[in-house]
Structure 1
């Protein structure tokens, strides 16, 4: 049984790995920048090329911050959903939030020509895609919360979330069928995900929502541990099931919904990282899992983004493709290696 001292040492090691991956992520790209140049850019010291300072501070640093925030949000959301539904294949988008965001963006991009007016005005906004995705996720969230108020069984909420995802997916398919090539391309580019389009104002909004979600998760640690043994056991400990369920759903919505709205749908991070973390720490205690999934999620997102940049090349690959290529084999390996995942 791992001791608290060993956990502390592991957290220190993971923090060092996170900082290392962060610096490596900033240094890599079409132009390799040495660590000396990175420190000079941050400290205002003398730098070999002034363009390096602009590249680091205005492009690579915000993108690396976005990768860390998205890693935090999606990984922790996945942990919350897997624990709430006691389902190892539940992910951060199981409630239909990603599908709702996709529907909002699809209506904005592909419905603009059909509906005009309001959608055409929205397209002129710098935050148009973020607003559309947020509205889509928020409407699905309200519907899920309204349904969960009437449904006592947690598994029924899972099925209802999946049905909402199917309905919104069907509407997106209809819009896709009637759209032209330019609209389809714009929508497809959004679905591939991108970490590099956020300015500091957008990052501050995303960061605030992620921090709020983390805070609600920390408050829910006792409830999460109790849910592992079933709702009846949690109820015997004096936990209010409905209130705890609402808090967990809202925390997931803050994190997964904001990540999808700002960077697009990112696959497999929320599904794979909680399993990697449980295997790595060999525990189901959420007091350990909550901070550790954040660290491992951020590390994995930085690694995926570094690969997506294709170092020393002008090519940039879609981040969603990289996370899927890395995440899917991890989940398959975990399923093959352990017949029953740790819960």
Structure 2
């Protein structure tokens, strides 16, 4: 308990520092003191700094926090429910459904010989939400018919593969401009949202976290298998619906608004287990949320290429960071004790 009580305040301090670092770095370097003074007092030394912080960097940093929390919690749910250390928030194909919705919006018109106009961030997010909802409905139907969790995992992967195949066909027949637009979206972006969209994403994340908070003890029982959980009085069927609904809102909503963000949902829960040295979900859920927010803030700050006008896609940065973590975990087999 001493380690736990010590690590959370340190993590919150690092989160605050990472948040300020994310706001400070970019093509224009803004001092920490100016950021704090400007946000809390409204007194900015330069009007350009006010525009940069309030209308671009602050929404982007908040999106990084929300996406880091949502992906980490949904990844931890998948790993626990399926007892698979390499499961992530995308194994049920819900994020692929969001990608399908966006692909239809961006690529279908070009593939069939006509152009779509008026594609903006609202249209992209709406298409992603509809696509994720469609696949979520399909997964829910299968979950109603199939009782075995491993079969549900396989079906989810098949949904994702089928959806990816449809996207590949649309990409093959689409024009260069539409294909480039979709490729850029698939690389992920945290900075394309306005304040209204940030608010909607925050609501989705909050709703998706509610069932997690109410079921923490049940996830602890699931670590020892569904049979053991049933013997402890856990309704595994209800837990399955909680997991599907929560992951659908978290992973689907984040993908719809930000594009696919790789490796965060897989790597962060393992990092939380290593740092906190615990498999108790009362510790792992808040620890994963904290580490996920920190990691995505730092990845976004690194992708800003401080001093340069260009930025790297967030998906590229998280993959560069997350892939070595997952490979190291596999080589050391650190996750074998927890599953």
2:249 is equivalent to residue 254 of structure 1: yes
Q: Is the 8 A contact 1:41 1:56 kept in 2?
A: no
Structure 1 residue 140: Cα displacement: 0.7
Aligned position for 2:235: 240
Q: Is the 8 A contact 1:278 1:342 kept in 2?
A: no
Aligned position for 2:68: 71
Q: Distance in 1 between matches of 2:277 and 2:28?
A: 40
1:144-168, Cα deviation, whole Å (9 max, x unpaired): 1111111111000000000001101
Q: Is the 8 A contact 2:111 2:175 kept in 1?
A: no
Question: More deviation in 74-83 or 97-106?
Answer: 97-106
- Runs of 4+ residues over 6 Å off in structure 1: none
Q: Distance in 2 between matches of 1:264 and 1:168?
A: 15
Aligned position for 1:187: 182
1:59-108, Cα deviation, whole Å (9 max, x unpaired): 11110000000000001110000001000010000000121111111111
Q: Secondary structure at the match of 1:314?
A: coil
Q: Is the 8 A contact 2:110 2:178 kept in 1?
A: no
Which one of 149, 152, 162 corresponds to residue 154 of structure 1? 149
Aligned position for 1:12: 9
1:280-339, Cα deviation, whole Å (9 max, x unpaired): 111111000010100000000000000000011112111100000000001101111226
Q: Distance in 1 between matches of 2:155 and 2:256?
A: 22
Which one of 75, 78, 83 corresponds to residue 80 of structure 2? 83
Matches within 5 A, 1:124-135: 124=119, 126-135=121-130
Structure 1 residue 47: Cα displacement: 3.0
Aligned position for 1:50: 47
Structure 1 residue 46: Cα displacement: 3.7
Q: Distance in 2 between matches of 1:183 and 1:90?
A: 32
Q: Is the 8 A contact 1:69 1:210 kept in 2?
A: yes
The runs of 5 or more residues in structure 2 that have no matched partner are none
Aligned position for 1:41: 38
Q: Distance in 2 between matches of 1:247 and 1:45?
A: 42
Q: Distance in 2 between matches of 1:324 and 1:309?
A: 16
| Alpha-carbon distance change, 166 to 255 in structure 1, aligned in 2, over 3 angstroms | same
1:216-239, Cα deviation, whole Å (9 max, x unpaired): 111111211111001111111111
2:215 is equivalent to residue 220 of structure 1: yes
Aligned position for 2:193: 198
Matches within 5 A, 1:253-292: 253-292=248-287
1:2-60, Cα deviation, whole Å (9 max, x unpaired): x2x32121111000000000001101110110112102211235433221111111111
Q: Distance in 1 between matches of 2:59 and 2:5?
A: 29
Q: Is the 8 A contact 2:121 2:192 kept in 1?
A: no
Q: Give the structure-2-normalised TM-score.
A: 0.96
The runs of 5 or more residues in structure 1 that have no matched partner are none
2:70 is equivalent to residue 59 of structure 1: no
Aligned position for 2:136: 141
Q: Distance in 2 between matches of 1:168 and 1:304?
A: 28
Q: Distance in 2 between matches of 1:45 and 1:251?
A: 37
Q: Secondary structure at the match of 1:293?
A: helix
| Alpha-carbon distance change, 46 to 150 in structure 1, aligned in 2, over 3 angstroms | closer
Q: For the aligned residues, what is the CA RMSD? A: 1.5
Structure 1 residue 244: Cα displacement: 1.0
| Alpha-carbon distance change, 131 to 42 in structure 1, aligned in 2, over 3 angstroms | same
Which one of 304, 326, 339 corresponds to residue 299 of structure 2? 304
Aligned position for 1:335: 330
